[in-house]
Structure 1
Amino acid sequence: MEWRKCYLDVILVPSALLMSIAYHLWLWRTVRTQPHRTTLGVNASVRRNWIHSMLEDNDKKNILAVQSLRNTIMGSTLMATTSVLLCTGLAAVISSTYSMKKPLNDAVYGAHGEFMVALKYVSLLALFIFSFFCHSLSIRFINQVNILVNVPQDATSLVTASYIHLILERGFTLNTVGNRIFYAALPLLLWIFGPLLVFLCTLTMIAVLYNLDFLFSASANDPKIDHANQNAVCI
């Protein structure tokens, strides 16, 4: 494959992936060190309080706890199903001989060879498979919490509030990872039409995620809230 045909793919696509990875590494570090600045950190703290609230008055709130967890399971199931359907469609396109598998040379920048086309579809297939894997594990953990949250609490019980919170956080963490992998596949989906769209879509997505992941409020500058949330976050 000649350099003049694939230099845009070699430069723009890895750059887009590195930007996305760097952003999420920075987000992870911020969640660990300053959880009050992020929605992920604040939500983790709220979930800990929610678990304690459900366990303190379980006789009256057991139905509420089950329904809340069921809604989360439904969201993960939807994403897992969507990932499987996309994997099935991509597998059908890869194994087919239709002309739709070959992009139009006049409308696409970058390489058009068979190897590059195969790389595009296989990369998408791998991301959607990993997204399905994460959502499946998330459903498993949250289903486990669905049972543990209604276990009677006593001095000899092995099922404590901290243990239930740990299992719940694993489920939500896997849910978040599965969603982010799914989002990362969206720019690569545009790679079918050229690497320039991948780069631009990644920049746009990072800007959107930044505004959704980080909090901009007066409480974000309060060190007392930061210290409290650091003790509560487990992600």
Structure 2
Amino acid sequence: MGFDNNDKRAWVERIMQADKKDVGIALSVIASNTSAATFLASVSLTLSSLIGAWLGNSSDNIFQSELYISLLTCFLLAFSCLVQSARHFVHANYLISTPDSDIPVKIVEAAVIRGGDFWSLGLRALYFALDLLLWFFGPIAMFVSSVIMVIILHYIDTNSTPLHRYRPPEARWSKGLEGLSEVAV
């Protein structure tokens, strides 16, 4: 959602090189991502359980059964991806918070990037399940929802504004008056 893997790598590298007292914000961000992934995974599992129970009780229309199986597949895929996302975020949190360690930045980068990738896949599965749910209201509702979803995802996935490159306060003030003029602008 606007961040590519290079931005994630730069963020992790800054965190790993920061003082341990400054790492708290990064750990809380990763913990928030873990909580969100866990919540969405539990919602996905609940919905797939409901659909599975509903599917088990009805055996009328074969087309409805295929739709239920497709929905069940989407929710189970979302559950799997979101659990993997939470797993990688917990692993990154553990690596960052390990005291007196010389863990390579690449390992933490990989955990954060994989967590973000699984998060994105899990959300995509939930978006697709939403479109399938609208099939119950007819093909027009599903088509309109699909078009709107493509437009929204295109808007979310494209980032034409470059992100601000963070410089620690020491680097800004170490240039003297030149650094002061850059900060003021």
Q: In structure 2, what is the equivalent of residue 179 of structure 1? A: 123
1:212 corresponds to which residue? 156
Q: Does 1:165 align with 2:128?
A: no
- The answer as to whether partners of 1:153 and 1:160 remain within 8 angstroms in 2 is no
Partner of residue 81, structure 1: 42
1:181-215 deviations in Å (ceiling 9; x for gaps)? 11011010011222232222111110111111112
Amino acid at match of 1:39: G
What does residue 124 of structure 1 align with? 71
Give the match's secondary structure for 1:39: coil
C-alpha spacing 1:176/1:63, structure 2 compared with 1 (3 Å): same
Q: Report the equivalent of 2:26.
A: 65
1:188 is aligned to: 132
CA distance in 2: counterparts of 1:152 and 1:91, whole angstroms: 45
**TM superposition shift of 1:82:** 1.1
Q: Deviation digits for residues 112-139 of structure 1, max 9, x if unmatched?
A: x711010111100010000000001111
Amino acid at match of 1:148: L
1:182 partner amino acid: L
- Offset, 1:153: 6.7
What are the ranges of 5 or more consecutive residues in structure 1 without an aligned counterpart? 1-37, 102-112, 221-235
Equivalences for residues 8-19 of structure 1 within 5 A: none
1:138 aligns with 2:82: no
Give the distance between the partners of 1:177 and 1:124, measured in 2 at CA. Answer: 16
Equivalent-residue separation in structure 2 for 1:71 and 1:82 (angstroms): 17
Structure 1: distance between partners of 2:160 and 2:27: 32
Q: Give the partner amino acid of 1:136.
A: V
User: 1:67-108, CA deviations, whole angstroms, 9 ceiling, x for partnerless residues?
Assistant: 1110010110111011011112212221235xxx9xxxxxxx
TM-score scaled by length of structure 2: 0.79
Amino acid at match of 1:195: P
Candidates 49, 54, 68, aligned match of 2:10: 49
Aligned equivalents of 1:199, 1:45: Cα separation in 2: 35
- 1:165 to partner: Cα distance: 0.2
| Secondary structure of 2:98 counterpart | coil
Please report the RMSD computed on the Cα atoms of aligned residues, expressed in angstroms. Answer: 2.2
Moved over 6 A (4+): none
The number of residues matched between the two structures is 163
The equivalent of 1:9 in structure 2 is none
Taking only the aligned residue pairs, the percentage that are identical comes to: 24
Partner of 1:39: 2
Quote how far apart the aligned CAs of 1:40 are: 3.7
Question: What letter corresponds to residue 29 of structure 2 in structure 1?
Answer: S
> Secondary structure in 2 aligned to 1:149?
helix
Contact 1:188 1:198 in 2 (8 A): yes
Contact 1:73–1:143 (Cα < 8 Å) also in 2? yes
Residue 175 of structure 2 is matched in structure 1 by: none
